[in-house]
Amino acid sequence: MQVLYVHQNYPAQFGHMARRLRREKGWQCFYVSQSPAGKDDDIERIQYRLTGGATNQTHFCSRTFENTIWHCEAVFQALKARPDVQPDLIVGHSGFGSTLFLRELYPQAPVLNLFEYYYRPHDPNGDMDFRHDLNWKLDPHKYLRSRCRNAMILLDLQNCQLGYCPTRFQTERFPREYQHKLRTVFDGIDRQVYHGFTERLRPAPAQRPPRSIAGVTVPPDTRLVTYVSRSMESMRGFDQFMRAAKLIYQRMPNVLFVVVGEEKVAYGGDEEYLGGQASFKSWVLAQDQYDMSKFLFTGRLPPEDLAALLASTDLHIYLTVPFVVSMSMIDAMSCGAVVLGSATTPVKEWITDGVNGLLADFFSPEEFADKAISVLKDPAAARPLGRAAEDGIAQNYSLNATFPSMLKVYEEARSHPATPRNLAQPAETAMPPRNANVISDAPLLTKIRPASRSPFRG
């Protein structure tokens, strides 16, 4: 059995699954990406190289599609040079559209695509219109472009035998006429990187030694609050976090906020609205006066260091507009951190307020501060929330828990022969009931009750 994984990056969402299939099933796995060629646990990495892309002369609304076409062509050329690769199944990330041309190389190989997000303009529960508080006047062309950004995604939906989305929030954004081709199954958290951290770094505040974070020693009586985002930007609520942080340290001086991430903007195009500021972070800091001695900005951290930090924090704050949930939030829950998240739709799929974490209104720094103070005054009393989150991830969303469900999706995709009649289904076909395609029988984390104290968790 040979599986070909297609993604811009390695290992991304597929690396841990490929290693598991190789180790437990003996399947041969290839991984084509822009990452350097090589081998990792008997998984061969094949590199593809872009030779072009959208330019300033390309219409603004079609640049995303133009770029994905260049990815498709680069993947096609890289694999055309490897006749020894003859996959029984192709698993790819849609959005880059990298699997589309592979039908010409492997006409009989079924395609399974991961679909992360379907763009909808003028959607108050979506990424574009949620931040009404900023009063930024969006360029009308961005709404036009949002109607075009699904072009390659729709082609992938047409081309694949089957697709999957990690969460119900993501699945339900897709058009009804394609729901029959989508399954909801989470990719799985490889918890090996967290092994030992939660047990070792969770003693009660009065008993724990000083913590060292990025070369800074944190005294035992100082409360540690973490915020992690690939980029400090409006879509991940960095400005709201800073406002809440100021309210917190004004009421509780013995607190240190550790911020992990880069100053670049990954989503939303904040740069257009910053009035000459170099980054959204600098724009936020210019809006108010902050005691910067209360903050430690670490930049990006290696996975092991990030896990150690999340396992030792007293509170983790996470905000997002309705968009794909960051892995950092799930990492924090997996590390047993007490998470205070924004009460937005994707976060509420993971956290039930007062059960396995806390929720606050995205637009209310005051509510974030109030709930944060309640945790920081007595971190030990809040520990059941972190234990419930950690146990819920381990039981339902670790790779051990999701591997059978994902394998079931792989087998279902293989059961559909790659012939034209299987590539689409008429829109008038009777639709299954809502959530009928959710693969795992495990309850969502929102159903989990706080775990009883175990001897190895402080």
Residues 218 and 161 in one domain: no
Residues 173 and 108 in one domain: yes
pLDDT of residue 216: 87
In this model, does residue 267 exceed pLDDT 80?
A: yes
Round to whole Å and give the CA distance between 194 and 174.
Answer: 33
Q: Which of 120-134, 196-210, 256-270 has the lowest mean pLDDT?
A: 196-210
Residues 178 and 235 in one domain: no
Which comes out higher in pLDDT, residue 45 or 445? 45
pLDDT of residue 421: 44
Total domain count, the chain: 2
For 391, the enclosing helix (H) or strand (E) is helix 379-392
pLDDT of residue 189: 87
In this model, does residue 431 exceed pLDDT 50?
A: no
Residues 262 and 339 in one domain: yes
Asked whether 295 and 225 are in contact (CB, 8 A), the reply is no
pLDDT of residue 449: 35
Asked if residue 226 is part of any domain, the answer here is yes
The fraction of the chain above a pLDDT of 70, given in percent, is 86
Asked if residue 354 is part of any domain, the answer here is yes
For 260, the enclosing helix (H) or strand (E) is strand 255-262
Asked if residue 214 is part of any domain, the answer here is yes
Longest distance between any two alpha carbons in the chain, whole Å: 66
Domain that holds residue 311: 191-395
CATH of the domain at 6: 3.40.50.2000
Q: Which of 169, 165, 205 is nearest to 181 (CA)?
A: 165
Residues 336 and 415 in one domain: no
Residues 281 and 385 in one domain: yes
pLDDT of residue 268: 74
pLDDT of residue 419: 60
In this model, does residue 435 exceed pLDDT 60?
A: no
Residues 208 and 118 in one domain: no
Report the residue count for the chain: 458
pLDDT of residue 273: 86
Locate 174 and state its tokens. Answer: 């897709």
- At 322-375, the pLDDT tens digits run 999 999 999 999 999 999 999 999 999 999 999 999 999 999 999 999 999 999
pLDDT of residue 124: 87
Residues 151 and 16 in one domain: yes
Asked whether 41 and 26 are in contact (CB, 8 A), the reply is no
How far is residue 263 from each of residues 57, 73, 375, measured CA to CA in Å?
Answer: 28, 32, 28
Asked if residue 31 is part of any domain, the answer here is yes
